[in-house]
Structure 1
């Protein structure tokens, strides 16, 4: 009888220990999840949209009337970067690498904008006072929208911009 009582106590103690470990593991999972979310948001917040008020001569010579730059000031690449003026897509985009060299004008979107690179989205029509807005995908494959005012929010299908290919 003493053996049976001892076994029951041991089983009860093991169950209590397992319950404590389960709680600890859940807390660790929650901490890791919060940390990952914080890193994701910090990366997204380091992507800036800068509407250019004065179109520089290098762009005007190509017939470009309006430019909006996306600066990736994060330490990781972002993907599927694009800018719209209202619902109008840019006519082309050039990327300046971290070395300071501009690449050729290409059709948007930018598939990969590396750390500390800049993408200049070029519009051949000024389209009035329409404010630009940018969309991009971060390392965690979350799609983001940033306004000209710097307001960042998760992007959703139907935000006025097609999802990346």
Structure 2
């Protein structure tokens, strides 16, 4: 073997080793990039799940106090038959109980879309289901502040039985975080977002 062939052979060997090392380095880097991308995708998915969980907890917390407001109501009447039985209902009696551990604000009861309560009174929480209970002090609607475990009673105007029937009550209030809510007589609670007139 002459020196020229040996130098070519050694040079070719080193070139082959260098090319192999380069290919191995490129493959290693490609594998690392693939692993990093997979890791980043996994981390991104975990962060998205954590964000979703935090959003769900915040949403539950937002609704928690509003769900604690209770509305009890019934129709009452003044016209009776000869035996003392009520024959026609002429007004609504609505009791609002704040069963949460924080106050609610601007509590008001409406009847249908056009009528507001004509009278509002403080009520002992123990008398919530006692429709003939003694009423406390008279208040002004909307009730500015209804503390925890406190109740108020709203009375509608006196109407014909048809008007009473067609104007079911619903309550509006602002929770302790400033969110405005409505609760209708069917138990549907909705976030209204802002108080009327703002």
What is the TM-score with the length of structure 2 in the denominator? 0.57
Which runs of no fewer than 5 residues in structure 2 stay unpaired?
Answer: 1-21, 78-90, 128-134
Query: Are the counterparts in 2 of residues 93 and 105 from structure 1 also a CA contact under 8 Å?
Result: yes
- The correspondence of residues 143-154 of structure 1 with structure 2, limited to 5 A, is 143-154=180-191
Could you report, residue by residue, the CA deviation over 1:31-55 in whole angstroms, capped at 9, with x for unpaired residues?
2222333344443332121225459
Aligned pairs, how many?
150
Question: 2:147 pairs with 103, 114, 128, which one?
Answer: 114
Q: Give the structure 2 partner of residue 19 of structure 1.
A: 41
Aligned Cα RMSD in Å?
Answer: 3.5
- What is the aligned partner in structure 2 of residue 127 from structure 1? 159
Q: Which residue of structure 2 aligns with residue 91 of structure 1?
A: 118
In structure 2, the CA distance between the partners of 1:134 and 1:4, relative to structure 1 (3 Å rule), is same
Report the CA distance shift for 1:164/1:94 in structure 2 as closer, same or farther (over 3 A): farther
1:23 is displaced (CA, Å) by 0.6
Are the equivalent residues in 2 in contact too, given 1:80–1:164 (CA < 8 A)?
Answer: no
Deviation digits for residues 33-80 of structure 1 (CA, Å, limit 9, x no counterpart):
22333344443332121225459xxxxxxxxx7542111122333332
**Alpha-carbon distance between aligned partners in 1 of 2:106 and 2:67, rounded to the nearest angstrom:** 16
Q: Does residue 137 in structure 1 map to residue 174 in structure 2?
A: yes
Query: How far 1:27 moved relative to its partner?
Result: 0.7
Task: Give 1 or 2 for the bigger CA radius of gyration.
Answer: 2
Task: Give the drift of 1:83.
Answer: 0.4
Q: Distance in 1 between matches of 2:196 and 2:100?
A: 22
